[in-house]
Structure 1
Amino acid sequence: MTDAALPTAATAAERRSLAEARLKRRRAQETRFMWYGRLAILVALAFLTILIGRIALQGYTTFVDYRISVPVLVDPARVDRADITGANYDQMVAEAVLAKLGETDDEFGETSGELKELLSNDLGFQILDQVRADPGLIGRTVTVTGPLGADAGLYFKGELDRATPEADRKLDDRQLAWLDKMKAQGMVSSSFNLGFLTRSDSTEPEQAGVLGAVVGSALMLIVTAALAVPIGMLAAVYLEEFAPKNRWTDIIEVNINNLAAVPSIVYGLLGLAVFINWLAVPRSSPLVGGLVLALMSLPTVIIATRASLKAVPPSIREAALAVGASRTQTVFHHVLPLAMPGVMTGAILSLAHALGETAPLLMIGMVSFVPGVPAGFTEGATVLPVQIFIWENASERAFHERTAAAILVLLVFMILMNLAAILVRRRFERRW
């Protein structure tokens, strides 16, 4: 053994060199992996910035409203007191604007007809409402203020370029000259478009708003939360804490996990067949929409609740049982309260996901045009994602900017719900 060769100085140096080379390669790999991660985050942030920036640039103009104010003579020769609704108030408004511009209508009414394209029919309805409330206004001059037509608004927002050939734009040179003259005379002013948030859908872009869709979404989420959260939570508690571990519970767990991955349109088909065709739930109502989304949200709520229950340390259960608590008392008095932050977080995120769903709602008829605000769970309604879908498929260009604005409103809802989930978790979270 004393004859064993000891490593020479050269051999030790080579080994040290090889070790340093391996260490250098390992550190280089770690550095590259770190930069790959940073690059992935930067790419994700870049795409997110481009997406939100593109939506914001297209939709922010919706919140700028161009309005016209004009005094209109309610001509007694044109208004029949016995039939107030039969008068052409839009024509009166157009002639009043022409008079302010220093022009008169031609024999065939083509001039006023061309001017009407620049005005919203909301002005005529305002006069009708005032005359209906006070017939004494007939023969007097009333001042009405309302939005310009959609294309006129696009012109003032810079979306309609005068340099475009006249044949390729919706407004001709004469109409653009009128708009410039209205602006110069102070007839047109700009303000925040509060009507977009306080009105419901309309066939006229300048009068369309998201209030009906927001209320419909809220009513639908109430139904979804009232069904999915308690049922999903109780099902998860039973499966995790009380159900025997056998083949049947294994099959149930596998199917719950599979249901969470089922395409959402399948739930729409199920809702159409069961809730509408069989149970006769009113079509296109928040009730049927909430039922469908509750089915879709149940697997997610169950999975999130079970994960939260598993995160509670076994010592909590053992301590409760050791002092004489029953199994039910242990679960509902000790385990579930400690798991509640995770349960509520999963429930809120599941509802936020349901808020953005469109495909299942299209299957149950919520794609219909709903001009009013739903007053109950069984009335016809639309929701924000479907409203966005409808507007994006409209032919009028002004609806496209409202599509982007509605997306911004939906994103605000999603951010608020995710913020609520974060606050709930931080408020009640326990660290073990």
Structure 2
Amino acid sequence: MVTFSSDVSQNEYLSEGATDVHAVVTVNAVADEAGAGAVPGGPTGAGQVGAGPGTAEVIIIDSSGSMGGKKIIEARQAAAVAIDTLPDGVAFAVVSGDSSARVVYPTSGTGLAEASAATRSAAKDAVRGVQADGGTAIGQWLTLTRSLMTTRPGAARHAILLTDGQNGESEQVFAAALAQCEGVFQCDCRGVGADWRVSELRRIASLLLGSVELLRTPEQMADDFRAVVAAATARAVPDVTLRLWTPRGATVRFLRQVYPEVDDLTGRGSDVDERIRDYPTGAWGAGTREYHLCVDVVPGPVGTRKLAARVTLVADDTRLSESLVLAVWTDDADLSTRINGKVAHYTGQAELAQVIQEGIEARTRGDEATAATKLGRAAQLAAETDDEGTLRRLARVVDIDDPATGQVRLRRNIDALDEMDLDVSSTKTVPAKR
């Protein structure tokens, strides 16, 4: 059983004529040992939901020629570890991908197997035969995974994708494959070594509601796969939707997840009616997620108090939590100019992710002045929030002379893995201080 609750952080006071309302919605999910069954949320905005109709897991291994030698050996071991991590009853398959894609297990090639001692053993035997050869066609790997996942409607469907290279398909083919997979399953992406593109795997992970990580060495694969699969199979509530109601005349300027990672959801909503849009958030287990919402509303006279948005978490027609975003117009400048701490914090975290990525892109195209400006701003933002992890990663790419003012100098010789690590980690956020 998972229990959900939510609350809002905002300054609800607006100056006369102001239209933009900012709020951070914090959603907490707590797992317990209670029995299954769904219980709609009550007036407090908290709700419980029991175990869903099962979990489906597909392990996707890059078996292209560049994975030869130690990489493919460690990839086979990582897949075996992931298979051993699967609880009994989880539906699963292993896919091998090069310039095409094939189902390694189950050997029937169609559908998914049910995890048990026997099927886990058989799957590991099959994985030992995976060899490295050919090119890289990630769209085909994802398309095959989609066909497997559709045999388990209603399940919490998750894949982990490992690659060491760049996709060789045309943009048209790749984009079409991604579009077909959106909403069908979630996908965590892992890149090993320095020859893959962060932006490419981030594109997959963002669209498929997953994460992207850098594995510097093949030896890291097994522990990472174990952790990813354990987390995925613990998510008991599939297909959770963030439902956003706004009043007549209002416009959603943006909606983005801001913790534990920055991910813009603004363009992913689907209309329920003229005032309600649903945004996918994927499967949930225990944990906390935070969302920054900005809505433009029709202003009211001084003294007016109105509902600017209603944020509801929904799964299988069950209301899991609900929060209200308010707007109050005032002529008291002291009230209207206060900035809520959480809103300010996550505004900075979103900017931090953006300037790091822009700085790396500028450096790649040889625009050193822009790169230094952007990465200097990143150092400044990281220092303001005591984000020591980001400061450490930045210090491997630039010399930080004064983080308070953003004074940095680009390093001439840097390890490509250090730059990739900074890029990958740019979207990971630190929580706001209480």
- TM-score, normalising length from structure 2? 0.22
Q: Which of the two has greater helix per residue?
A: 1
Larger relative strand fraction: 2
Which TM-score applies when normalising by structure 1?
A: 0.22
